[in-house]
Homo-oligomer: A and B are copies of this chain.
Amino acid sequence: MTSQNQLFETLNPPQRLLMGPGPINAYPRVHQAISQSLIGQYDPVMTGYMNQVQALYRGVFETQNQQTMLIDGTARAGIEAVLVSVLKPGDKVLVPVIGRFGHLLCEIAQRVGAEVRTIDIPWGEVCPPEKVEAEVKAFQPKLLATVQGDTSTTMNQPLEALGEICHRHGVLFYCDATASIAGNELKADAWHLDAVSAGLQKCLGGPSGSAPVTLSDRCAALINQRKHVEAGIRAAHHIQGAEAMIQSNYFDLAMVMDYWGPERLNHHTEATSMLYAARECARIYLEEGAEQVIARHRQAGGAMAAGLQAMGLSLFGDQQHRMNNVVGVSIPGEVDGDTVRLELLNRFGIEIGTSFGPLHGKIWRIGTMGYNARQECVLTTLAALEAMLLKHKARIEPGVAVTAAMEYFG
């Protein structure tokens, strides 16, 4: 028997304003959707919802790809599903590393047994296409894998030119768009992307725990050559792929495609509540309209940057290539970054982000994403941060940040 005092209180999380690099506050409609009644995984209503999710995420990814679906896990589950399904041990993969999440792609590819070559870019910059083309020619990779928006540095890697290079050289092109999608332009088909993975917890305005992915027909065909239907559900008509089995069962996209496809071949038990959330995130995005949502992110991010600069703070990295939805800002030398962050949380209920690796202690990262890419969130955050910096005797210019942001909004 467990005593009553080990059961803890009723869940009652505080109302925070999440202005970090993600996760952020979900759209209210997503909270409604996620709490709806469960239905069986082969209920015709459920399979109907699965088909709708596929159609909706084709809209989000701007693709016609049949193979568009959810991986039941966080954003890095989507990354690993793509890499482990596409790459066999010994396959060559080229990764431009513009921040922490570039390292993650390398690390996952290495665990798969791939041969990884990196293009190491200083943090705060993006990778020039010429460097990619030179390495594609020299290394002849099977796959170019890149992060679009790397929140660790706030940079947004331009993809169109990389897609054109991959297309010309017959290289598969994958990008992790978790942090950038729905806040920055992404055109999977027009940019020759063979695989894209994402997450809900940034500009899509949902909780972490579901990873939308899309695969080009070429990429799907290549993965299906490795198909191996599980014993226990395998039938005579299931053709096993000619190539080496994918080294993960959970992330075997050949089986995941069959689960989402017309045969509905059992794999996992779909995470229904998260699927409800993912469906609502996509509906909200497409209903407002991709261009409008991205413009809203550009405006909110620009206003935040303008306010921070008006205070006298300097921004991190190449501002021409900054993501719309997150800005890195130098921590004034007079204050301790973590103390200010914690006090902002405790006094205002506002969360801003710390940073990783070489940037830790040097910059904060402030996000304006999804539901929080709104004027009131930007102005409130600037007012609160200014007050906190003044309290801690930072040498900033008082009384101008909010005005600068308001002027930016017009």
A103 at the B interface (CB under 8 A)? yes
Q: Is the CB of A286 within 8 A of B6?
A: yes
Contact (Cβ within 8 A) A277 B269: no
User: Which A residues between 59 and 92 are near B, CB-CB below 8 angstroms?
Assistant: 59, 72-77, 80, 84
Interface-side segment among A30-38, A314-322, A323-331: A30-38
A333 at interface, CB cutoff 8 A: no
The reply to whether A43 and B351 contact each other, CB–CB distance below 8 Å, is: yes
Please name all residues of chain B whose beta carbon is closer than 8 Å to the beta carbon of A218 when the two chains form the complex: none
Interface residue A268 (Cβ < 8 Å from any Cβ of B):
yes
Within 214-267 of A, Cβ neighbours of B (below 8 Å) are at 230-233, 245-251, 266-267
Chain B nearest CB from A36 CB (Å) reads 5
- Are the C-beta atoms of A273 and B276 separated by less than 8 Å? no
Cβ contacts under 8 Å, A277 to chain B? 273
Which one, B38, B103, B345, contacts A230 given CB within 8 A? Answer: B103
Chain B residues whose C-beta falls within 8 Å of the C-beta of A354 in the assembled complex: 42
Q: Which residue of chain B is the closest to A283 with respect to CB atoms? A: B7
Contact partner, A272, options B55, B208, B356, Cβ 8 Å = B208
Q: Is the CB of B7 within 8 A of A287?
A: yes
In Å, the complex CA distance between A15 and B7 comes to 30
A50 to chain B, nearest CB (A): 12
Q: Which of A21-29, A165-173, A384-392 lies at the interface with chain B?
A: A21-29
Question: Does the CB pair A111–B56 fall under 8 Å?
Answer: no
In the complex, whether A152 has a CB less than 8 A from a CB of chain B is yes
A230 touches B104 (CB 8 A): yes
Residue of B nearest to A286 (CB): B2
Q: Does A13 contact B (CB under 8 A)?
A: yes
Check if A271 is an interface residue, CB within 8 A of chain B.
Answer: yes
The reply to whether A32 and B33 contact each other, CB–CB distance below 8 Å, is: no
Q: How long is the Cα–Cα vector from A248 to B40 in the complex, in angstroms?
A: 30
Q: Which residues of chain B are near A140, meaning CB under 8 Å?
A: none
Q: Does A141 contact B (CB under 8 A)?
A: no
* CB of A357 within 8 Å of the partner chain: yes
**Minimal beta-carbon separation of A73 from chain B (angstroms):** 4
Residues of B within 8 A of A18 (CB): 38-40
Give the interface size class of chain A. 35 or more
Query: Which B residues are in CB contact (< 8 Å) with A35?
Result: 31-32, 34-35
Closest chain-B Cβ to A61's Cβ sits at a distance in Å of 12
Q: Are B39 and A269 in contact (CB under 8 A)?
A: no
A286: min CB distance to chain B, Å: 4
Q: Is the CB of A2 within 8 A of B80?
A: no
Contacts of A286 in B (CB 8 A): 2, 6-7
Would you give the shortest CB distance from A105 to chain B, in whole angstroms?
10
Interface assignment of A112: CB less than 8 Å from any CB of chain B: yes
Shortest Cβ gap from A402 to chain B (Å): 24
Q: How far is the CA of A123 from the CA of B231 in the complex (A)?
A: 14
By a CB distance below 8 angstroms, the chain B residues around A345 are: 43
Query: In the complex, how many angstroms separate the beta carbon of A325 from the nearest chain B beta carbon?
Result: 15
Can you sample 6 A-B contacts with CB below 8 Å?
A7-B286, A15-B37, A16-B43, A26-B38, A75-B268, A232-B357
A interface, CB within 8 angstroms of B? 1-2, 4, 6-8, 11-16, 18, 20, 22-26, 31-43, 45-46, 49, 52, 55-56, 59, 72-77, 80, 84, 99-104, 106-108, 110-113, 152, 199, 201, 207-209, 230-233, 245-251, 266-274, 276-277, 279-280, 283, 286-287, 289-291, 345, 351, 354, 356-357
13 further A-B pairs in the complex, CB-CB below 8 A; given A8-B55, A42-B354, A84-B248: A1-B291, A11-B49, A24-B38, A25-B37, A31-B36, A39-B351, A76-B249, A77-B77, A106-B231, A208-B269, A208-B271, A247-B247, A273-B273
